[in-house]
Amino acid sequence: MSRMLARDAPVFPSCPRRRSAAPGNAGKQFAARPRAVGRDRRVIGRSLPGFLLLFLAAAFAAATARAETTAQPLIINSDQSVTTLDKHADTGRTTYSGHVVITRGPVVIRGVRAIVFTLHQRVEKAVVTGSLAVFVWKPEDGPAVHGEAQTITWLAVDNALLLETDAKLRRGEQIFSAAQVRYDLDTRTVRARGGEGQRVHVVIPPAKGTAAKPEASR
């Protein structure tokens, strides 16, 4: 019986035994891991100062741009003005008309009519209108920015300019045209939005030193 069982039993190929790592080699394998982790940490440690410098530079530029405008007094010139105050809500509304010029630091806005809204004796926003109201901003560390639209709203809290209806903004040699363009003075970002029958149109000039290729003769 034992012979039959031995004969009928399936034969499996012998599997080589897996050799256990020698204590010395195992120690080396486990010791290699901390070195890799340490190397990664050194790489990350070296890259962190670069990210911090970029972040600090961007924050410094935004703070400088805000200081150039918000730290300056608001000066308004016009032919006439009418002020309405609400003592209960501590709000005010002043309408200026006739060659309106609003200046705050390096920002100048011109129009035919302007309405300035105040809250707790602080300017919240100024809405300037005209056949085409215009503004110009000349920062100390960048190209001048020019804008025009039928309505330009200066948002004091956000330190931004909102151009609406036939809006056009020029920053250096770049041109943005849309139904609505918003320019953030702190971050110097442009947000354009199209409207009915008007899409966003952007013109980006070629890089300096790039010569136009001559057309092939036909």
Average pLDDT of the segment spanning 25-51? 49
C-alpha to C-alpha distances, 12 to 8, 9, 15, 130, nearest whole angstrom: 12, 9, 9, 95
Per residue in 175-200, pLDDT (tens digit) is: 999 999 999 999 999 999 999 888 99
pTM of the model: 0.66
Average pLDDT of the segment spanning 17-40? 50
Lowest mean pLDDT among 51-55, 77-81, 102-106: 51-55
Give the DSSP letter string of 110-175.
Answer: EEEEEEEEEETTEEEEEEEEEEEEEEEE--TTS--EEEEEEEEEEETTTTEEEEEEEEEEEETTEE
CB distance 94 to 85 below 8 Å: no
More confident residue, 80 or 52: 80
Judge residue 56's burial from the number of C-beta atoms within 10 Å of its C-beta, 0-12 exposed, 13-18 middle, 19 or more buried.
exposed
Which tokens in the block code for residue 189? 């970002």
Say how far apart CA 152 and CA 26 lie, in whole Å: 72
Residue 193, Cβ neighbours under 10 Å: how many? 14
Cα dihedral across residues 26, 31, 32, 36: positive or negative: positive
Angle at 59 between CA 66 and CA 162, to 5 degrees: 45
More confident residue, 48 or 157: 157
CATH architecture type of domain 75-203: Sandwich (2.60)
Question: What's the mean per-residue pLDDT of the chain?
Answer: 78
Backbone angles phi, psi at 54, to 5 degrees: -65, -45
Q: Regarding beta strands 80-86 and 75-77, do their DSSP bridges make them parallel or antiparallel, or are they unpaired?
A: unpaired
CB distance 79 to 98 below 8 Å: yes
Q: Would you state the pLDDT for residue 137?
A: 96
* The most confident of 164-168, 208-212, 213-217, by mean pLDDT: 164-168
